[in-house]
Chains A and B, each alone.
Chain A
Amino acid sequence: MQCTPRGVAHGGMGLVFDQDRQVQMTILLSKLRRSTAAIALAAATVGFAGNALAKDMTITVWAGGSNDADSYRIEAIEMAADILKREYAIMGEELNITVEGKRDFGGWADFKQAYTLAAEAGTAPDIVVTSHLDIAPWSQAGLIVPIEDYVDLDAWPLNNIYANLMEITSYNGQVFGIPQDAESRPFFFWKDTMRAIGYTDEEIDALPAKIATGEYTLDNVLADARKAVEMEIVEQGYGFYPRVSNGPDYAQFYQSFGGELMDKETGKLVLDKTAMTEFYQFFVDAVEAGVTRKNHLGTDWDQWYSEVATGKAATWHGGTWHYARYTGKEGLEDFFGKVQFSLIPAGNENGRANTITHPLAYLLTAQDDEETIEIAAQLVSIASEPRINTLHAVKSAHLAIAKEQSNIGLYANDRWLTEATDVLLSEANAQPNHLKYGQFAELMFKGLETAWTGVNTPEQAVAEVEAEMRATLGDDLIVR
């Protein structure tokens, strides 16, 4: 834009100083040429600027494992698009962003299949909301780019995100994603049942602390669950009512018996055979004691939610986000009066009371169009504003990603989120970002399934898991 006035002024000065006619003619020609060039340049500049001024962009977002309560995983990006558009407008540029979101995938397996195949085919969305565990394989395959290359981690709002969460979304020392939410997976007790088997209110209130110190263990869970079944307060199989499908939850029980998922020194995955056997044995014991159903795995999720939210089960384990479902769709009115929650109890003296947090992260798909990645990164950054993330946190009962969220009324006034953050998040660890952790977790669960359903004894199951892990994970495995 600066070219136009400068060109004209220069031509004008030529007219004033040259007297000789011929020289004047030459100058005139030269001036004409320059003016033409200037006009052409101006036209080009305007044209170019026009392009830059009115830019239309479509940013696609896919969110895995999301239902209606998680709608802000996509809506936050829409809100961010609006803010970014306004920021551009103030800077004199017109940027129109259309956000296209999709979250109706069958389940995690279908979602991950859809994303990986789409990414290989070059039709993946610009932004994907998924488990932090996908960062390792997806980055190795070049499907995603480190978000750190596109955003300022030292600036607001990213500098306000909990450092341990940022660590979970990093791999190989690079920040690949921005945490979208945090959660943890607590153990639950139905208070009425606990009272009926002889607990006083004070004892129930003291449970979380006793669990945290290792005084109340999984053995006590079995004993209490058995009592509830024997006293016919709950039906057979409803003394301890675990998650019905594979998930990070089961790694917690491995940790309860002293299992370690990854060796920090070597970065290798760890199969602790004793811990694994004891972990499987616990579920087998639960089945034999009649407190857990032998065919429990594969129970319909809707049935499961409705049963645990109505007190049909004495004890169970789930996620912090279940609160939204229990008190929402399942109609549990007095959550705090009916339900006690705690860490997952320790299994024995080798293990510890623990809980796993499994944050989802906003990741950016690799593509040739750097500008789209940059805009997508800016949207993710804005969507991580405490106030915007709080909408998601409270609506879906997920924990905060940023420190400032505890100063936002909506979050601070939510009793569940503040209590859960207090009791659980400080003790939470995450599963490791490792290229082969997916296979490790699959095999661990497969072994559990065969022991639980009586196809194998725990020892046989662990032997089988060991053989499979050695073949599948090779050098990436340490067997203890």
Chain B
Amino acid sequence: MRRTDLFGLGFMAPALILTIMFFLAPVVMTGVYSFTNMSTATGISGGAYLISPATIRSLTEQGFQGDAIERLSSESYVVDEAGLEAAEAAGYTPRFIAEIRSTLLGDTFTGRRDFERALKDLSHRPRSIRDLKKATELFQKSVLNVRFETEADFQSALSSLNLNLSPAEAVFLTETAYTGWIWTSANYDRAVNLPSTYRATANSAIYVTFTLAFNVGFGLFLAITTFYLPSGQAAFFRTIWFLPRILPPVLYVLMWKWLTWDTGFLSTLLSHFGVPPHNLMKHTATHAWVVVVLINGFVGASMGMILFSSAIRSIPQSMLHASEVDGANRWQQVRYIILPQLRWPILFTTAYQTLSLLTSFEYILLSTNGGPGSATNVWALYAFKIALNNYGGNLEYGYGAALAMVLVIIGIIASLFYLRLFNFKSMITSPRIEQ
């Protein structure tokens, strides 16, 4: 590699590192998570091995019976010399150990609380209740409700129970007892088979299509109309239309709520004309969509407006002057001069906003929150709620990641399509506007 190449790489390094950290790594991690059943209950960092009453029920359903299930599901504490030695090694006082030996040696307890109560009756018991309870573990001969952090510990505890399981049963037992996440492709099967996935797909399609059409159409309208205004007025109007973008989203949506709620401005105004108050944001699915498209549209349109305005300004003035000499009216100027020259900015805005709308849900979350009745629950919001945010708090990271992954794939396909449509190479070689 030449030194100049290294030099270039050095310059690029910070950007590369950031790209990898904040763009590539999350996508790769999402891909990895999407093939797991990771959730709040499995945890992220790995699991343990636990035989609980729930495990026992699954085992029974799978045909485990007789001695094996009996031993797994019972609790047993036996006061024996081995336990007393362990207690000694653990640092319990000789007086306490001697008292256990003299009063409880040989006793068996079938419940931990019974054994604890027996220990509590001793006069030389440890002062700390935690130490007393820990002592019971040294005499434990059962595995019920014991959390084993490693498989080796779990297997050695099982072997002391003499369960006589077939190899297949032993594997099933270990799998059932494992609390952590496992690799699976079930998330994708589940996504394909659920009605809510199709609803979210349809919602995303509606959202992207209508918002995009509004963004581009209205952005274009603003750019052209302000172009023909005196520059001072034009700047004033552009600034006004730019406000939705610079307002904090929470505040912006709050103003929409005040406008559209049944106790809000519009309802109050209309009530003077005998119209009963409606929550215009959530009255029906159509109401919700109109509001969602407008909320997002006004924000998106401001960006289109800026891009289109600057593109119109870069059209050589001589062309417009010449057209006026030829007697063209405003509409003809727009139709035959301005719009053809805006082809690329329009395509760029369309491409860029398709991708950002596919993954954006913040304004929907703040306004309709996917309602009424999931009517505006777009794919990205659906994935967010499954993976990270719902009332029950049972977060399904794995399934949510699979849903997010679908968006990533759609995004990549759309990008490739747009790059091809743009003929990207030719765009970066020479500016079309000057050809």
**Which residues does A use to contact B, with CB under 8 Å?**
108-113, 116, 120, 131, 133-134, 136-138, 140-143, 148-154, 172-174, 236, 245-247, 266-267, 293-295, 297-300, 303, 370, 374, 377, 435-439, 441-442, 445-446, 449-456, 464, 467-468, 471-472, 475
Contact = CB atoms under 8 A, between A and B. Distances in A.
A247 B391 contact: yes
A92 B373 CA distance: 62
A116 B40 contact: yes
A342 B389 CA distance: 33
Contacts of B285: 453, 455
Interface in B120-150: 120, 128-130, 133-134, 145, 147
Given A120-B45, A298-B282, A298-B368, A450 B374 contact: yes
Given A298-B369, A450-B374, A455-B372, A151 B129 contact: yes
29 contacts: A108-B393, A111-B393, A112-B392, A112-B393, A116-B395, A136-B41, A140-B41, A140-B50, A141-B42, A141-B47, A142-B43, A150-B130, A150-B133, A174-B145, A236-B276, A247-B391, A295-B262, A295-B278, A295-B284, A298-B371, A298-B372, A374-B130, A437-B392, A455-B374, A455-B375, A464-B195, A467-B193, A468-B196, A471-B190
B41 A141 contact: yes
Given A141-B179, A464-B196, A446 B53 contact: no
B350 interface: no
A236 B47 CA distance: 53
Interface in B28-64: 39-45, 47-48, 50, 52-54, 57-58, 61
A449 B391 CA distance: 14
Contacts of B190: 471-472
B179 A442 contact: no
Contact of A449 (B117, B261, B373, B395): B373
- Which of B41, B50, B368, B369 lies at the interface centre, i.e. has the most chain A CB atoms within 10 A of its CB? B41
Nearest to A146: B145
B263 interface: yes
A387 B3 CA distance: 77
B388 interface: yes
Interface string B369-388: 10111110000000000001
B432 interface: no
B339 to A, nearest CB: 40
B43 A374 contact: no
B43 A141 contact: yes
A435 B390 contact: no
Contacts of A297: 282, 371-373
Interface residues of B, number: 59
A303 B194 contact: no
Contact of A439 (B128, B193, B369, B394): B394
Contacts of A111: 393
Contacts of B391: 108-109, 245-247, 441-442, 445
Closest 7 CB pairs of A and B: A438-B392, A112-B393, A438-B394, A453-B373, A141-B43, A453-B372, A137-B41
Contacts of A451: 373
A324 B110 CA distance: 47
Contact of B129 (A134, A152, A247, A436): A152
A113 B372 contact: no
B92 to A, nearest CB: 16
Contacts of A134: 393
B394 to A, nearest CB: 3
A120 B397 CA distance: 13
B174 interface: no
A452 B373 contact: yes
A215 to B, nearest CB: 33
Nearest to A64: B393
A435 B54 contact: yes
A172 B54 contact: yes
Given A295-B372, A297-B371, A454 B389 contact: no
A453 B257 CA distance: 19
A436 B263 CA distance: 38
Nearest to B190: A471
Given A116-B393, A133-B392, A464-B196, 9 more contacts: A109-B390, A113-B393, A137-B394, A142-B47, A148-B133, A149-B133, A438-B392, A445-B391, A455-B373
Contacts of A112: 392-393, 395
B388 A113 contact: yes
Interface string B254-284: 0001000111000000000000101100111
A140 B128 contact: no
- Which of A435, A437, A441 lies at the interface centre, i.e. has the most chain B CB atoms within 10 A of its CB? A435
Contact of A267 (B48, B57, B179, B261): B57
Contacts of A108: 391, 393
Contacts of B196: 446, 464, 468
Nearest to B389: A109
A433 to B, nearest CB: 10
A110 B389 contact: yes
Contacts of A247: 391
Contacts of A475: 58, 61
B349 to A, nearest CB: 32
B41 A453 contact: no
B371 A109 contact: no
